[in-house]
Chains A and B, each alone.
Chain A
Amino acid sequence: MSDNINSSDSDSGQKAVLVQKPMKKWGNERIDRSPLHGLWALTNRELEKWYKVPVLLLLSLIQPVIWLGLFGKAFNIGSIFTDGSFNIPGLNIPKNVLDQLSAQLMQSTFGTTDYFSFLAVGMLSFVTLFTAMFSGMSIVWDRRFGFLDKVLSTPVSRGAIVMGKILSSVIRSLAQAAIILVIAVPLGMDVGHFSVLGILGTFVALFLMTLGFSALFLMLALRSNDWQSQMAIMNLLNLPLLFGSNALFPSSIMPTWLQDFVKINPISYATDAGRQLLLGAPGFASLNFDFIYLAGFAILFTTIGIVMSWRLLTK
């Protein structure tokens, strides 16, 4: 770069004195130009916002506990029969028969005698879904504050920008799911069927589900710089997705049109895999099908997400 000095010849005479001191040289060797460089930096930037702020971390830990305690304990359907107030006048059914009846009813509807355990697994999916939905919000803010443009002007690959967002959302939601599981046990979740492989399998299922949803919600936000509409989209989708799945209630008790929706909803398959692996409950699909469906969902939306990021992030 010796031509630097020539170009400053046009300067006035007094500046020539300044230029005489040796021009400091900047080299650009040893640069990592792999397509994955910067991915962890971007992911960690998102995660730091969460784990470095104690209040935020605490809130995100309390939230699943409240969900679990509130829903799990309030919807205690099993106690309809067992709390002693139910009987048929004149028949005077013995308590043990009632208990048996209840257990049979629960088993055939929920696949487990205990609704709390049933719901606890649903909560795992629920929490991962809600965290994944926020994946799109941060890209909206990044665009608003000009941070996105700054990142886009660096040689970091467009795919890494999107993957960083997705990964951080996945990590956060899985951490929250793990907390739910840990808390559900002392609250009364049935651990009779727990196994290391079962827990691992459940988290693989949740991973695939949250990967797909994070990518989906991020895609919806790629071109948007308006957080209100992003919030509106999230509110429009979250409850239908949740109630239109088997997370809270088994699909067998739903009308057929809703059952059809439950069958295409990926939340159903993550929950179903979890119930089979953690509770030993009979599934509404085979375990293999659960995983194939979830993997397909995750691969499809991450691929679309990355392809769209190439097209949409550069106008």
Chain B
Amino acid sequence: MTSGNDFIIDVKDLTKVYNGSLRAVDGVSFEVNEGEIFGFLGPNGAGKTTTIKMLTTLLRPTSGSATVCGYDVRSHPNDVRASVGIVPQEYTSDEDMTGLENVMFCGDLYGVPRSISKERAKELLDLVGLSDAANRKVQTYSGGMRRRLEIASGLINHPRLLFLDEPTLGLDVQTRTAVWEYIKKLKEDYGMTLFMTTHYLEEADGICDRIAIIDHGKIVKLGTPSELKSSLGGDVIEVGVREETDDLTPLIQQCPSVKDVRRLNSEYRIKASMGEEAAPTIIDLIRTKGYHVTKIMVTKPTMDQVYLEYTGKSIRDEEADRAEMMRQRITIRRARN
């Protein structure tokens, strides 16, 4: 079925040029392992959507190659389509049909026979907690229910890999948490691979095994959330010492994970790679020399800081085109009713 390739997504030098000049995606390369949750972050117009569209065969790459589930997106687009599932950013379910009918309709598009798809659709609706609403028209669904229905629809072909584009856009905190729970369940219970984009950085931090940050069509950073955060130079530990006269900087620097120490009178600002492990060591060190620690605080860098570090702090002009912006507005509006 699949080639000897170990990666479920294998992208090499993928490039998309619009109108001969605009390089929306510029030589992107990365791999996604089977069974991981891979987050794709970046500002609007950075190339996220273009990349997803190329991986899901909606756009043809200008150059470079991409293999998804062992199939080349260019030469075997239909095999790629058959083996992946997609949860689009928009609410694409039909308002006039029931939840069950919508999922079964997606089954028809994947060629799943009705006899099988009915059972499957029921199981999937159960999986996302929509069993009770299965026979209600989608018109009556809330934003969160619609989003879960999209997830169920995206799973009807039992894909190994699911693409989720902004799965929590416009949802409130409770619903967002619930959606993340379902996503985690897919990974843990079914060993699925999930490839997703999101703007909620804290949540990406909590759920993703690895994260790629893309900007101006290029991947600017890729790694596990903790790798990304430690790439900022590590955690900050602030230590207060009662004895103001002695400079403890050389002493603190003896601690192996400490990278940098700055003294402000009796307080020390220490950068260390593993803050929560370094802090007790530092305290012990200070105490064995007979000094007294008056306060301690460990701050870890957030994903927000990582994101701003790599994509810059300037506010982006909206590069998304009019149609895309309208679709996003529709999504947010429908999520809220």
* Contacts from A to B (Cβ < 8 Å): 1, 3-5, 7-8, 10, 15, 18-19, 21, 23-24, 26-28, 30-34, 37-38, 40-42, 45, 48-49, 52-53, 143-147, 149-156, 225, 314-315
Contact = CB atoms under 8 A, between A and B. Distances in A.
Q: Ordered nearest first, which 7 A-B pairs have the shortest CB separation?
A: A146-B90, A4-B191, A41-B108, A26-B158, A32-B111, A7-B35, A154-B109
A152 B106 contact: no
A30 B110 CA distance: 11
Interface in B180-202: 188-191
Best-surrounded residue of A37, A150, A315 (most CB of chain B within 10 A):
A150
A5 B190 CA distance: 10
A32 B157 CA distance: 11
Contacts of B90: 145-147, 149-150
Contacts of B105: 41, 45
A150 B86 contact: yes
B56 A28 contact: no
A151 B86 CA distance: 10
B35 A4 contact: yes
Nearest to A156: B109
29 contacts: A3-B6, A3-B34, A5-B191, A8-B35, A21-B189, A23-B190, A24-B189, A24-B190, A28-B82, A28-B83, A32-B111, A33-B82, A34-B111, A37-B108, A41-B108, A42-B109, A48-B96, A49-B96, A143-B323, A144-B323, A145-B90, A145-B91, A146-B91, A146-B92, A149-B58, A153-B58, A155-B81, A156-B109, A314-B59
Say whether chain B's binding surface is mostly helix, strand, loop, or mixed. Answer: loop
Interface string B71-101: 0000000100111101011111010110000
Interface of B: 6, 33-36, 53, 56-60, 78, 81-84, 86, 88-92, 94, 96-97, 105-106, 108-113, 116, 157-158, 160, 188-191, 209, 323, 326-327, 330
Given A24-B189, A45-B94, A49-B96, A7 B36 contact: yes
Contacts of A3: 6, 34
A268 to B, nearest CB: 38
A153 B56 contact: yes
A30 B157 CA distance: 11
A28 B158 contact: yes
